[in-house]
Structure 1
């Protein structure tokens, strides 16, 4: 197969491959960029593999950076761009089921490609557009099939994260995992416990945000991979009900984690503990904690002004998107209209602040002042008090007098 017109992202890199070839070595674009070119999907970066050893690459190009030279990776700096170029290699001794104990540089493209995870990722592309397919990856792309290169058991023992990548691709590409590969995942699922949670989380998030999350989730559940993910070991039935949902249009990480927390019926404290087990960022935890209560009120058709205020506009949109998944959503225009009708949308918009309460209402700093500000804010949001300085100061004095 030959691609007549390569996507624009390849053009600046073609002279790099040409220069390597002119020096007597082989050089190819490899991996996901080749797959996505054939599928006409967006390409975010390109990878280059070559028969030239790192020392030879450094002789060919004047400007290079040793980004991972022990694994054969050198960055070539060319006309303001950086291209990571990796020498063909074989690997052995995967004691941690993730990284090889030994890397050996080779001159053979076939030896390099046969260590890759799936046939659809084991394609190479010459700079002139010719596709090199040594493991029937093109046929698998046409069949929409995810198939391990060679023995699935060997591939998953080399890198157990590949099992999560398989179910992620099932969702991202809307592909089917072939029988032997799926069996290999089932048999080796316990190895996932050897992998860092952060790496599992990245694949899980991509799965949940793919074009067909149900396909990926189905395999994630049926293979038993879920058992080795934080907080999901006993959640098979709960996760399985997600397969029945038809409105999958989650747009970001906050939405997907909120949906999962709703599904698991987690309280606010439990949400924090659950997400910390997944090693998520603190700001994401904060956002999910805002989204979940809003989703629950949308479900009950009782979305309160105070909840909209606390949630904020962006997180409120997240909440409604999660609600769509379950068929609970409020029409977007209606939700936005309700939010815009709030008397204030941020605490700083309140017509009084702590300084005013001290100087004009005689209230001393401390916990009581905080409670008064909160009480005034709630009253304004609910329309019980006008957001007027005089009105609020009078109410503050009244609260003080009543104790």
Structure 2
């Protein structure tokens, strides 16, 4: 197969391939960029593999960085971009089920491609657009099949994270996992315990944002991989509930976690502990907890203007997306109109602050000052007091004078 017209991102990299070839070595585009090109997707970057060893690449190009020199990767700095160039290699001795104990640089493209995880990722393309397909990856792309290269068990023993990558691709590409590959995941699912939680979470998040989440989620459950994820071993029921929803599509990971937590009957506190076990960022933890709080109120039809203010529209919108996935008839447009009509959207918009109160009243900095400001903020949101300085000063005076 020949790609007649290469997209700009490949054309810009052609001089790199040409320079390597001029020095007497082979060079190809490989992996995900080739896969995405053939699927009609726009690659974000390109990976280049070569028969030249790292020292030889460094002698060809004047500006390089030893990105992953032990594993054969050198970054070449060109005028318009940086390109990772990796030497063809073989690997052996995966004692930790993640990284090879030994990497051997080779001159054979075939030896390099056969160590890769999936047939759809084991494709190469030369500078003329000729696709090199040694493991029927093109046929699998056309058929929508995800298949391990060679013997699936061997690929998963080399890197157990590949099991999560496989089901992630099922979600992202809406592909079916080939039976032998699926069976190998089921047989080796426990190896996921060997993998860092952060890496598992990264694949899980990509699965949640895929175009066919239910496909990836079904494989996650059926292969038993969920049992070896942090605190997930007892969560088959909420996962199954997610799977049975008529539509399952997430625009944010936090929305997915909020929905999962709702189906699992988690409290916001429980969700926080759960996500800490997943080594989630503090931002994701807090956002997911807020979405769950808002979702719980939505299911009770009890979201007040003051709560819209407290959550902010991004959280309300995400919680509303989750509510709609649950089949809750919620008018997000109406909620947005109510939110837009709030007198203020954040504390920063309040025209009074602690400095103004200190200047106008005989007060000292401390908790009492904060209580006055909070009360004024609440009354502005509830439209009991206009957000005008004179009105707020008058109301502040009343509050201070009424202090026992």
TM-score, structure 1 as length reference: 0.95
Q: Give a deviation string over 1:137-191, Cα, whole Å, max 9, x none.
A: 1111111111101111111111010000011000000001111111111111111
3-state SS in 2 of match to 1:107: coil
Q: Is the 8 A contact 1:376 1:396 kept in 2?
A: yes
Go from structure 1 to structure 2 and tell me whether the alpha carbon gap of 1:390 and 1:58 turns closer, same or farther (over 3 Å shift). Answer: closer
Go from structure 1 to structure 2 and tell me whether the alpha carbon gap of 1:388 and 1:78 turns closer, same or farther (over 3 Å shift). Answer: closer
Q: Is the 8 A contact 1:361 1:393 kept in 2?
A: no
Structure 2 gaps, min length 5: none
In structure 1, C-alpha distance between the alignment counterparts of 2:395 and 2:266, rounded to whole Å: 38
Aligned to 2:64: 64
In structure 2, C-alpha distance between the alignment counterparts of 1:40 and 1:50, rounded to whole Å: 25
1:192 aligns with 2:192: yes
Aligned to 2:226: 226
Go from structure 1 to structure 2 and tell me whether the alpha carbon gap of 1:361 and 1:241 turns closer, same or farther (over 3 Å shift). Answer: same
**50-59 or 115-124, which moves further after superposition?**
50-59
**How far did residue 260 of structure 1 move?**
2.4
In structure 2, C-alpha distance between the alignment counterparts of 1:53 and 1:227, rounded to whole Å: 42
In structure 1, C-alpha distance between the alignment counterparts of 2:274 and 2:393, rounded to whole Å: 42
Number of residue-to-residue matches in the alignment: 403
Go from structure 1 to structure 2 and tell me whether the alpha carbon gap of 1:364 and 1:249 turns closer, same or farther (over 3 Å shift). Answer: same
3-state SS in 2 of match to 1:343: coil
Aligned to 1:245: 245
Q: Is the 8 A contact 2:242 2:260 kept in 1?
A: no
Q: Is the 8 A contact 1:247 1:327 kept in 2?
A: no
Structure 1 gaps, min length 5: none
**How far did residue 55 of structure 1 move?**
1.7
Aligned to 1:98: 98
Q: Give a deviation string over 1:44-81, Cα, whole Å, max 9, x none.
A: 11111111111222222222221111111111223332
Aligned to 2:256: 256
Aligned to 1:362: 362
Residues 130-279 of structure 1: pairs in structure 2 closer than 5 A: 130-279=130-279
**How far did residue 259 of structure 1 move?**
2.2
Q: Give a deviation string over 1:252-280, Cα, whole Å, max 9, x none.
A: 22222222222322222222222222122
Q: Give a deviation string over 1:232-254, Cα, whole Å, max 9, x none.
A: 11000111100112333311222
Q: Is the 8 A contact 2:268 2:290 kept in 1?
A: no
**How far did residue 390 of structure 1 move?**
4.1
Residues 264-343 of structure 1: pairs in structure 2 closer than 5 A: 264-328=264-328, 330-343=330-343
Go from structure 1 to structure 2 and tell me whether the alpha carbon gap of 1:363 and 1:22 turns closer, same or farther (over 3 Å shift). Answer: same
3-state SS in 1 of match to 2:12: helix
TM-score, structure 2 as length reference: 0.95
Give me the CA root mean square deviation: 1.8
